[in-house]
Amino acid sequence: MNCTKCGKKEVMMERKHSGQRLCPECFISGIQKKVLKDIRKYGLIEKGDNVMVALSGGKDSVMLLDILSSLQNRGIIDLMAVTIDEGIQGYRQDGIKIAENHARRLGIEHRVVSFKEYFNISLDEIMALPFPRGACTYCGVFRRWLINRTAREMGATKIATGHNLDDETQSIMMNYLEGNIENLRRIGPRSHPKSDKFIVKIKPLGEIPEREVGLYVVAKGLEVHFAGCPYSQESFRAEIGEIIKNLSKNHPTIMYSTLRGFHKIKTALKKEDSRNFTMDNCIKCGEPSAQELCRACVFCEELEKKKTH
C-alpha cells in the first residue's frame, strides 16, 4: 500500500481514522500547510510581527521554529528566539546547545537567559532547599516571567510556544476535572492579556498530535534534544496524559473532538467572564500582576526565607 497522496512506496506514517498513508515528503508538506492554515484561521500572526519562539531545543519548539522560518524567509515576520536555562545539571545544557545551533543556522537573534541571573537561584539549588514545592511549580512561574520579560526587551510582538494537541487536550481535561474554570477559559491558540506589558502568546502547533511532531522532526532530520527532565514527576497532568493516550488507541480522533468541543464551550465561557479586575504592576519587579506582588516575587521571597533557615 503506497502513499495515498502521491503513490510513492516509502510510507512513513498512517492516520488510522482517515486511512491516510503518507510518504515523508507528503507528510512534511501536509503538516506545514496545516500549521500555516491554523495560523491564518486563528489570526495568530500578522504581517510585520516580531515573533519570539520559546526554544528549548525539544521537538515541539524545534518544529515550530522550522515552520515559522518559512514566514521569515518570505519577509512576513521577523523571527527571534529565547532559551530558558533553569539550571538543571546534566539535562538543560544539551538543549541549549541544540537551540543555539538552530538559531545560528537560521541567522536569527537568540538569547539564553537563566533563573540564576534573574532570580539568583538555579532550579537545582531550589530543589536542594528544605521542603520545596514541586519543581514544575517554580519552573512554570519563573519561566513565564522570564519569557515575557525577555520578549519585551527584544521587542517581540508575539511569543510562540510549541504546545501540541496532546498538551492542549490535557489542559482541557485537567482543568475541567479539577473544576478550574478560570484556567479553562484561558486555554486556546492565542492569549488575550489584560495588560499590554504581557506579550500575546500563540500556539501554532495546538492541533498537531505530539507523535506527529516527533515524526516531523525525525523525518526532516532536524537536530532535537530528546530527553526527559529529571524533575518530571508523577503529576496529575501526566496521569491525564496517560489516560488520553490510552483512549486514543481505540478512539484515534478523541483529542480532536475534545478540542473541537472545547472551542464551542469557550464562546459561552467568554460571555460568563464578568470579572473586571485591573492589572497593576508588581511593586517589586514591575511586571503586571493582580496582586501587590507577582507570583515570581512571592516565590523569591519564600525562597529567601528557606535559604536563611
Partner 1 sequence: MKFTLINNKKTEQLSFKNNLTIKELLDQIEKPLETVVIKKNGQIVLEDEIIQEGDTIEVIQIIYGG
Q: Cα(first)–Cα(last) distance of the chain, in Å?
A: 67
Q: Which amino acid is at 111?
A: R
According to the binding rule CB under 5 A, does residue 300 interact with Zn ion? no
- Residue found under cell 502568546: 201
Residues in 192-231 at the binding interface with ligand SF4, rule: CB under 6 A: 229, 231
Spell out the residues 6+ positions from residue 181 whose beta carbon is closer than 8 angstroms to its own.
Answer: 175, 269
163 binds, among Zn ion, ligand SF4, partner 1, none (CB under 5 to 8 A by kind): none
63-67 contacts: CB < 8 A, separation 24 or more? 63/162, 63/205, 63/213, 63/216, 63/217, 63/222, 64/160, 64/161, 64/162, 64/204, 64/205, 65/102, 65/106, 66/217, 66/220, 66/222, 67/31, 67/32, 67/35, 67/36, 67/204
CB of 218 to partner 1, least distance (A): 5
Site string for Zn ion, 24-43 (x = CB under 5 A): --x-----------------
CA dihedral of 73, 57, 161, 89, whole degrees rounded to 10: -150
Site string for partner 1, 115-134 (x = CB under 8 A): --------------------
3 binds, among Zn ion, ligand SF4, partner 1, none (CB under 5 to 8 A by kind): Zn ion
110 binds, among Zn ion, partner 1, ligand SF4, none (CB under 5 to 8 A by kind): none
Residues in 70-129 at the binding interface with ligand SF4, rule: CB under 6 A: 86
279 binds, among ligand SF4, partner 1, Zn ion, none (CB under 5 to 8 A by kind): none
Q: At what angle do helices 92-106 and 59-73 cross, to 10 degrees?
A: 10
According to the binding rule CB under 6 A, does residue 136 interact with ligand SF4? yes
CB-wise, 279 or 285, nearer to Zn ion?
285
Task: Check if the beta carbon of residue 282 is closer than 8 Å to that of residue 297.
Answer: yes
Options 13, 53, 135, 297; binder of Zn ion; rule CB under 5 A: 297
CB-wise, 63 or 300, nearer to partner 1?
63
Number of residues lying near Zn ion (CB under 5 A): 11
In this structure, are strands 109-114 and 78-85 parallel, antiparallel, or unpaired? parallel
CB of 145 to ligand SF4, least distance (A): 14
Task: Check if the beta carbon of residue 16 is closer than 8 Å to that of residue 252.
Answer: yes
According to the binding rule CB under 6 A, does residue 139 interact with ligand SF4? yes
Options 184, 294, 299, 303; binder of Zn ion; rule CB under 5 A: 294
Phi/psi at 26 (nearest 5 deg)?
A: -70, -35
CB-wise, 23 or 79, nearer to partner 1?
23
Question: SS3 for 178?
Answer: coil
- Cα 138 to chain centroid distance, Å, stands at 16
C-alpha cell at 33: 500547510
Number of residues lying near ligand SF4 (CB under 6 A): 8
139 binds, among Zn ion, partner 1, ligand SF4, none (CB under 5 to 8 A by kind): ligand SF4
According to the binding rule CB under 5 A, does residue 243 interact with Zn ion? no
Residues within the interface to Zn ion (CB under 5 A): 3, 5-6, 8, 23, 26, 282, 284-285, 294, 297
Residues within the interface to ligand SF4 (CB under 6 A): 86, 135-136, 139-140, 229, 231-232
